[in-house]
Amino acid sequence: MHASSRPAVSGAMIFYSEFDDYAAWRDAMQARLPDLRMVHGSEAHDPASIHYALAWKAPQGFFDRMKNLRLIVNLGAGVDSLVGREDLPAGVPITRITDPNMARMMAGYVLFATLRYARDIPYFEAAQRRGEWAYRHPRSPEDVCVAVLGLGELGACAAQELRRQGLTVLGWSRSPRSIDGVECHSGMESLDTVLSRADILVVMLPLTPQTRGLLDRERLQRLPRGAALINVARGALVDQAALTDLLRNGHLGGATLDVFEREPLPIGDPLWAMDNVLITPHLASVAIPASAAGQIADNVLRVSQGLEPANRVDPARGY
């Protein structure tokens, strides 16, 4: 909507994130909604003046006394740290960011990590450290089976990109999905079959009461011997102690982990020192102010006009 043809936005938007650049988000939001007052969570403010929140992992109690809150925008895709909190005013809608650029950034990470295994790069890295010319004939892409658990905004995009590389791609979701070239499965009854076929398993599920601990020891053992695991979703989806054991005893060949049960991963955790593990500090994909501010601004306008916001999270479903 053109600035001159829309009503002024009342109330302020509060920002909280320890990881994202406040100035960049403030400027991106105000470029779209010049009359929106932005407040950082650490600045003095009247809680009653806050109508909108743009937040990532705000501490418990952050939303206390924000009695006029009309919209909470999760500054990312995973809403597990927002759903079920007790400091939110009842019924306030929670939305997430669904940004093609965020999906592309995630797909880039997944593609890198998957192709690294599909092309046996860890084997060559180890050979190089030994100063050894160790020829291993490349596998045909279609002979490598990648299973993607979670076919949402991010998972579907990653599955398509993997398929574009000629890999054999299986997908798994709660309800039936259809993605060109991807063999899609759904429901708990098909999970074991999907796992048993995966040379590379990519975890892209939201953390909900149903998915917490889903990849326990028994399910991880269903993966073929030597399989690799890539977790870019949430650490608590996987039994980390079992994962560590299986990486040690060779049942799993390798893991690329962007997320952990506890973050930062504690100093001294055995995963840090394992040659077959690649660790990144939870940054597989991030929200980008310039590309996501538009949809947030649209939702602020919708809510200020009494309309339902887009990309609303279903708290009962947990994602």
Q: Which of 74, 285, 295, 311 binds ligand NDP (CB under 6 A)?
A: 285
Nearer to ligand NDP, 199 or 258 (CB): 258
Interface with ligand NDP, residue 233, by CB under 6 A: yes
> Residues 120-149 vs ligand NDP: string with x where CB under 6 A?
------------------------------
State how far the Cα of 290 lies from the Cα of 28, in Å rounded to an integer.
6
Residues forming a β-bridge with 53: 14, 72
**Ramachandran class of 142: left when φ > 0, alpha when ψ lies in -120 to 50, beta otherwise:** alpha
State how far the Cα of 2 lies from the Cα of 273, in Å rounded to an integer.
55
Nearest approach, Cβ of residue 175 and ligand NDP (Å): 3
Catalytic residue among 282, 302, 312, 317: 282
Nearer to ligand NDP, 211 or 299 (CB): 211
Structure letter (DSSP) for residue 238: B
Inter-CA distances, 113 with 31, 75, 163, 179, Å:
36, 25, 14, 21
Residues 159-178 that bind ligand NDP (CB under 6 A): 173-175, 177
Q: Which of the ranges 50-58, 118-126, 200-208, 216-224 carries the binding residues for ligand NDP, by CB under 6 A?
A: 200-208
For 201-216, the DSSP string reads EEE-----TTTTT-B-
Active site residue 2: no
Nearer to ligand NDP, 80 or 199 (CB): 80
Active site residue 40: no
Interface with ligand NDP, residue 151, by CB under 6 A: yes
State how far the Cα of 225 lies from the Cα of 212, in Å rounded to an integer.
24
**Measured in whole angstroms, how far is the alpha carbon of residue 84 from the centre of its chain?**
18
> Which stretches of the chain bind ligand NDP, using CB under 6 A?
76-78, 150-155, 173-175, 177, 204-208, 210-211, 232-234, 258-259, 282-285, 319
